[in-house]
Structure 1
Amino acid sequence: MLNPDRLLVRLKARLAPEFWEILDRASQLARERQWHLYIVGGIVRDLLLLDRGKNDSLNLPDIDLSVDRAPVAATPGAGIELATALQKHYPQTRLEVFSTFQTATLVWQGSDRLNSFSIDFATARTETYAYPGANPQVQASSIREDLYRRDFTVNAFAVRLTHPDRGELLDFFDGLTDLGSRHLRVLHEKSFIDDPTRMYRGARFAVRFGFEFDLHAQRLIQDAISSGIYARTLAERDKVPALQTRMQAELRYTLGASYSQAALTQLAALNALQCLHPTLSLDDRSWWHLRWVSRAWQRLDESHRPSLWLTRLEVILAGLAPEFRESVAQNLQLPDDSQHRLKNLDRLQKTFAETLPQCDRPSQVVRCLQAYHCDSLWLVMVTSPRRVRHKIWQYLTQWQAVKPPLNGKDLQQMGYRPGPHFRTILEALKAALVDGEIEGDTEDEIRNNARLFVLNNYHL
């Protein structure tokens, strides 16, 4: 059994002093109200995972606190009351209240060390789901019931911050054993039916920390998917906006991470992508596209990089039959332009497959592509044959940024009278520069050669 004093010492040692002061103040306020206060969630798990021989810190962007009033449930809204009381000591914070869920969040602002740091306060509560994927309905309860609603045993720890038994580790569901064996074990049979995003969170956690779903969790995932419950639920799009929001958030975290390929490999092995659509899977071609995206994205200048998680998701959804892509994108509440790209992908692929191979000069490629948004070109590029992909890549990385070496003022100084023909001349200059007809070792030399080009091709 872990020594409570030692656990608090380890927690304090790995938190920045400012964070520990806030927790200490919150525990005092809870004790004044005869409540028990617990730190719960990922911070406890991470504390237990840390090698005791290292001085790793736990500087987290957020901390979760839970309030109960053992042996009976705390007053509904206790978490909100505690957050409100703590804000009086930290007036620089912003208080956000979510009465429906009996929770509140304090967000620190205007501090170099604490800026954007937040604490979530919750009354210990139970959750019930009116239907799969719904937002939970909550009711005040004990800390044990509060921890039971969590996704996996290794996330169901709590450390008591108030007396008596300050520093006690609460592990009602043998999470320490699972932590030692690196297993993800669920707490109840309907876990993945109530909230399919749990399998995505589990996959992210597994690849980050070297865990794996235990056999029972794997079977529950398979049973949930094969039941068809997700397809039926997502078909009622207006009924489950909460699920759509949570699913998009999980995909954003997973696909934007450095370990995305490992997480996707695990999700694909579990057939978990079928939560998005019953026919969705990753074949060899899809994997190749995803690897290409990762390599190409690294080679781009930061200012020209598309959204990595969204590009990866669009590549995955491009593997669906065309008639399903837009509806899945709508279910996931993707941006309108993303839905538009997926809807028009086949048409653009066909257009570029016909036109780009006929372009012998870079300027011809520029004329074909300059009317399209970069993100649309990215998706077509990734999912097209090499001869098309290569030309779009050259456009995005080289030719797109080329500007005419002269401007309208330069043309006037050369004696040309302003008019619509200026646009024609400038476009011709840009094309000549892209095609290598105008060259030079310095900017001045390029500009001088550009003037000669204009004089030789356009009469004053």
Structure 2
Amino acid sequence: MKLIVGHKNPDFDCFASCVAAKKLFPDHTVVISGSPQQNVSQYLRIYEDRYPYITESDLGEEKVESLVIVDTASRERLGPKIQQLVDKAEKIVIYDHHPDIKEVTISGEKHIESIGATVTLLVEEIKNKGISIDSMDATLFAIAIYEDTGNLLYTSTTVRDLEALKFLFEKNANLAEVAEFVRYDLNYEQKLILDQLISNIEQHNVKHNVVHVATAETDKFIGGLSAVVTKLWELQGVETLICIIRTGRKIHIIGRTSSEDIDIGGFFTELGGGGHRKAGSCTVNLSDVLEAKRLVLEVIQKYVEKGPLARDVMSSPVRVAYSDMTIEEVNKIMERTGHNGLPVIEGNKLVGIVTKKAVDKAVNHGLLKNPVKSIMSTKLVVVDADTPLSKVRKIMADYDIGRIPVIENGVLVGIITRTDVMRMSFSDAVKAKPKRPITQQSEKIFHNVHDKMISCLPREIYNLLKTFGQFGDEVGLNVYVVGGFVRDLLMDNPSFDIDLVVERDGLKFAEHAAEKLKATLVKHDKFLTASLFFNGRRVDVATARIEYYEAPTELPQVEISTIRKDLYRRDFTINAMAIKLNHKDFGLLLDFFGGQEDIQNKKIRCLHTLSFIEDPTRILRAVRFEVRFDFTIEEETERLMREAIHQGYLEKVSGQRIRQEFEKIVQEIKAVKAIKRLAEFDAIKRTFPGTFYTATMEEKLRALFDFLPWAEKHFGQVDRFYSVMFVLLEYHNEQLLNEIKERYGLSLKFLQQLKLLKKMIIPLSQMIKLRMNFSDIYKVTHDISPEGFCYIASYLEPDDQEYLKQFLERVSTVKLTISGKDLIDKFGLKPSKKLGEILESIYCAKLDGLIDDSNELEYVKSLIESASSNSR
């Protein structure tokens, strides 16, 4: 074993020295003996995940290779097990201070000097060796120095302690944290004032911030009132404290805060005093304490901003476990996600929390098949979304819990962990969570849209949604209509494609609905989805789920989840809303991610920073929605799109998925604008290598899409995707064409026709521009597909397209009244190639208007006679 130990019942200098020693001896394990002092215990309740340690009871009987002892050189001050290990240790290194007043009873390599705090010695070594520390480390070491030097007032304080603090502040030590945990010693008179303040402390809510105001009075002059206030601040564990103290004829007002949202210095400056943002004081010319308190509560309003709330720092969405899940299932979730705890849901209610530690113990006891509710903790401590962070932090410390669920309107909307709390104070020690740069939290998550549903939806659709809500009530499941249906309803352009999400068991709901509606049911058990077919309508049903990706660009895996997490997996905020259909809450809109706000601001915004890496096809979707709705892709979302494209994620997606999205784009009214926008993102040349978007290509695409609506009406069906492919791929060599054919599953017929048209597109377009006879055009185009004609149209001006339309209409209406059989029966011709040539000649003459049905036979006679005379 290699251990770092300190004295029993460690104070901050002892514990911080252990942590600092760990920096110097990284292969050693920190051991704590006895119970840490109260303020150290409070600190560890919040930060124990950051600074792991074992207790003396965890030690075995192994031989000790190396023992580092800090903040003591006396065997008697060590824990009993550690005292036994001292004799077994091969190497001992000691760091301590105050050699003039401490007895040294342990032999070893000694670093014992007359300085204010042991941690100063270790900080000096850390600095000299260039070992990296972050702001959290620096803050812990600063707390130790301040506490052991009595805020630098003890005579044992040295310049070296000050130099160590200078170094720690250069490493961004947080003075507010120091003030929260440092202890103070008061004299008798100061303690009397402290007792009064404790008895007279009041809590006031100011703009979501809790401000505590305390009062005290004495006829004597009392010095060191600032120390008294700081001591009270420490004892009460409050975020903001203002004390009003009368001593004789003077009234002193002293304040302390750890909040980033209260400017104490500005407050005291207005009252005629001074200070800085975190602390200040003044003396006021008022006759009594109550009058001073009224003044304080009036003026403080100006210097309080809206502080961080639970909703601002919580992790969201929340991964949950259901109470009837097996311990084995929950263990797999924890192992895959790295979560150390999960809220437990039963009947859509939060009923407990299960930790990884409890799961591991159950696994070790072979309880894999037991329900997780058998090991969950039901001692729930929750907060609502508007709880100030200061209160959350206090709850976390008071109850010694590492995670607190956040509830809003009875819905579990987030969870706050120790890491979330630490982010608010330390920017470099914990990887910062973005302050919702993408998903802007709407101020109104829940909103009833029942009236809009009545006014905008056809009665048939409205009644159908009510029916689905009734089915949900009958099987005890929550049912929501989601996605584009909700988005379009809010945009006053309702669509009637219904997608339902059911919490917990969509298949059970679908089976019940199919039975009630006499509908055809198609289930997809693997994906927990189903489709209902009835009365010419299709309704898709999905189980509320969260999709997680084994690797970027791969198709997602699926697991049961809740509606909030199900919405979080979607592409954009405008598509991540749901309307509840159950009778009690029918018409309740759930908008967790600011979709309504983005609709109002005409923004396309993705939900998280990995959105386009997990599913790069969302890049095409973002452009499609931007163009369709005349919205703008939000700045951060655009940056993430460009980054994903630049890193080659589009190329990693299967061609089938890219094609599906591109086929949707070419169906849009503003398809050319969408293709151009994709080109601006470099997405066109990434998806179709060798394609370079130019002004000429844009002109061709515009001409193509001008022609398409007529072509679709004329031919009955035109594949827009293939029509556009003719334009995008017309300059590709054979190797590139074959690669794209394989990637996107292009047909061999398309490739053959593209190669043919590439050769003849210029002369053919010239024939049309020169208004050559229909028969001449027909002879070179009679095997061309509808998509091929659209490609030809891309080379034509509007007037020339009109001539092409006339040609195609003529071709579709001209029919021969005579057949090959007629030629054989009436004219004695024999079946031959000549027979086909005659029929084609008749058809061409009719195309050019040289003959019609009435003189078709005469034209045949003339052809036969002419052929006979030529043969003679």
Partner of 1:100: 526
Aligned sequence identity (%): 27
Partner of 1:13: 455
1:411 is matched by which residue type in structure 2?
A: L
Name the CA distance, whole Å, in 1 between partners of 2:508 and 2:817. 65
Q: Give the one of 515, 529, 535 matched to 1:88.
A: 515
Q: How far does residue 179 in structure 1 lie from its aligned partner after superposition?
A: 1.5
Q: How far does residue 352 in structure 1 lie from its aligned partner after superposition?
A: 6.9
What aligned pairs does 1:296-307 form with structure 2 within 5 A after superposition?
A: 296-300=707-711, 302-303=714-715, 306-307=718-719
Asked if residue 337 in structure 1 is aligned to residue 749 in structure 2, the reply is yes
Partner of 2:19: none
Name the CA distance, whole Å, in 2 between partners of 1:329 and 1:84. 41
Partner of 2:670: 259
Partner of 1:237: none
Partner of 1:271: 682
Deviation string 1:189-243 (CA, Å, 9 cap, x unpaired) is: 1211222221222222222222110011111111011102332x25xxxxx4xxx
Partner of 2:483: 41
Deviation string 1:154-185 (CA, Å, 9 cap, x unpaired) is: 11111222265443221111222212111111
CA RMSD of aligned residues (A): 3.6
Deviation string 1:48-100 (CA, Å, 9 cap, x unpaired) is: 222xxxxx6x351x2122222xxxxx2xxx00110100111111x22121122
Asked if residue 455 in structure 1 is aligned to residue 865 in structure 2, the reply is yes
Q: Which has the higher contact order (CA 8 A, sep 6+)?
A: 1
Asked if residue 210 in structure 1 is aligned to residue 210 in structure 2, the reply is no
Asked if residue 312 in structure 1 is aligned to residue 729 in structure 2, the reply is no
Runs (5+) with no aligned partner, structure 2: 1-442
Deviation string 1:92-130 (CA, Å, 9 cap, x unpaired) is: x2212112221111122xx3xxx1x22222221111122
Of 277-286 and 193-202, the range deviating more from structure 2: 277-286
Q: Give the one of 402, 418, 423 matched to 2:830.
A: 418
Q: Give the one of 153, 163, 173 matched to 2:593.
A: 173
Q: How far does residue 365 in structure 1 lie from its aligned partner after superposition?
A: 5.3
Residue aligned with 1:189, SS: coil
What aligned pairs does 1:27-426 form with structure 2 within 5 A after superposition?
A: 27-50=469-492, 58=494, 60=496, 62-68=497-503, 74=504, 78-91=505-518, 93-108=519-534, 111=535, 115=536, 117-162=537-582, 165-231=585-651, 233-234=652-653, 240=654, 244-300=655-711, 302-303=714-715, 306-342=718-754, 345=755, 348-350=757-759, 366-370=778-782, 372-375=783-786, 377-378=788-789, 381=792, 398=810, 406-412=818-824, 414-420=826-832, 421-426=834-839
Name the CA distance, whole Å, in 2 between partners of 1:341 and 1:424. 24
CA contact under 8 A between 1:252 and 1:310: conserved in structure 2? no
Deviation string 1:267-316 (CA, Å, 9 cap, x unpaired) is: 22222224413543321221122122223334546137632332013322
TM-score with structure 2 length normalisation? Answer: 0.44
Paired residues, number: 420
Partner of 1:53: none
CA contact under 8 A between 1:4 and 1:167: conserved in structure 2? no
Name the CA distance, whole Å, in 2 between partners of 1:425 and 1:100. 61
Change (3 A) 1:361 1:88: closer
Deviation string 1:27-59 (CA, Å, 9 cap, x unpaired) is: 223223433222211111122222xxxxx6x35
Partner of 2:464: 22
Runs (5+) with no aligned partner, structure 1: 51-55, 69-73, 235-239
Give 1 or 2: higher helix fraction: 1
Larger Rg: 2
Residue aligned with 1:131, SS: coil
Partner of 2:114: none
CA contact under 8 A between 2:447 and 2:590: conserved in structure 1? no
Name the CA distance, whole Å, in 1 between partners of 2:637 and 2:609. 9
Name the CA distance, whole Å, in 2 between partners of 1:158 and 1:385. 47
Residue aligned with 1:88, SS: helix
Residue aligned with 1:176, SS: helix
Name the CA distance, whole Å, in 2 between partners of 1:373 and 1:309. 16
Residue aligned with 1:89, SS: helix
CA contact under 8 A between 1:84 and 1:95: conserved in structure 2? yes
CA contact under 8 A between 1:4 and 1:166: conserved in structure 2? no
Change (3 A) 1:217 1:339: farther
Residue aligned with 2:701, SS: helix
CA contact under 8 A between 2:573 and 2:595: conserved in structure 1? yes
Name the CA distance, whole Å, in 2 between partners of 1:419 and 1:34. 75
Partner of 1:71: none
Give 1 or 2: higher strand fraction: 2
Residue aligned with 1:107, SS: strand
Name the CA distance, whole Å, in 2 between partners of 1:445 and 1:102. 68
1:49 is matched by which residue type in structure 2?
A: M
CA contact under 8 A between 1:271 and 1:281: conserved in structure 2? no
CA contact under 8 A between 2:553 and 2:614: conserved in structure 1? yes
Name the CA distance, whole Å, in 1 between partners of 2:546 and 2:532. 22
1:27 is matched by which residue type in structure 2?
A: G
Of 262-271 and 405-414, the range deviating more from structure 2: 405-414
Change (3 A) 1:305 1:127: closer
1:87 is matched by which residue type in structure 2?
A: A
Of 311-320 and 257-266, the range deviating more from structure 2: 311-320
Name the CA distance, whole Å, in 1 between partners of 2:614 and 2:686. 13
Name the CA distance, whole Å, in 1 between partners of 2:774 and 2:794. 21
Name the CA distance, whole Å, in 2 between partners of 1:160 and 1:183. 24
Q: How far does residue 188 in structure 1 lie from its aligned partner after superposition?
A: 1.0
Residue aligned with 1:334, SS: coil
2:541 is matched by which residue type in structure 1?
A: F
Name the CA distance, whole Å, in 2 between partners of 1:380 and 1:94. 41
Residue aligned with 1:133, SS: coil
Residue aligned with 2:449, SS: helix
Residue aligned with 1:291, SS: helix
CA contact under 8 A between 2:707 and 2:793: conserved in structure 1? no
Deviation string 1:334-353 (CA, Å, 9 cap, x unpaired) is: 344334444xx2x6533676
Name the CA distance, whole Å, in 1 between partners of 2:773 and 2:467. 69
Partner of 2:92: none
CA contact under 8 A between 1:124 and 1:143: conserved in structure 2? yes
2:577 is matched by which residue type in structure 1?
A: F
1:445 is matched by which residue type in structure 2?
A: N
Deviation string 1:406-444 (CA, Å, 9 cap, x unpaired) is: 4345435654343424334334444555567xx24x531
Name the CA distance, whole Å, in 1 between partners of 2:787 and 2:448. 55
Name the CA distance, whole Å, in 2 between partners of 1:123 and 1:304. 38
TM-score with structure 1 length normalisation? Answer: 0.78
